[in-house]
Chain A
Amino acid sequence: MSTPLFFAIVFALACYVAAMALTLVRLVRGPSAQDRVLAMDLICTIALLVLMVLAIRYRSVMYFEAALLIALFGFVSSAAMAKFLLRGEVIE
Chain B
Amino acid sequence: MSAGVGLWIEIPVALLLVLSGVFTFSAALGVLRFKTFIQRMHPPALAFSFSAWCVTLATILYFSALDQKLALHAWLIIILLSLTVPVTTLLLARTDLFRRRAHPDTADTAPPPLSRSIPSTTRSPRLPDVAANARER
Contact surface of A with B, Cβ cutoff 8 Å: 1-2, 4-5, 7-9, 11-16, 18-20, 22-23, 25-26, 32-35, 37-39, 41-42, 45-46, 48-49, 52-53, 55-56, 59, 61, 64, 67-68, 71-72, 75, 78-79, 82-83, 85-86
Contact = CB atoms under 8 A, between A and B. Distances in A.
Interface stretch (B89-97, B110-118, B119-127, B128-136): B89-97
Contacts of B71: 61
Interface of B: 1, 4, 7, 10-11, 13-15, 17-18, 20-22, 24-25, 27-29, 31-32, 37, 40-41, 44, 47-48, 51-52, 55-56, 58-59, 62-63, 66, 71, 73-74, 76-77, 80-81, 84-85, 87-88, 91-92, 94-96, 98-99, 106-107
A9 B55 CA distance: 11
Contacts of A34: 37, 92, 95-96, 99
Contacts of B24: 15-16, 19, 46, 49
Contacts, number: 159
Contact of B14 (A5, A35, A49, A86): A5
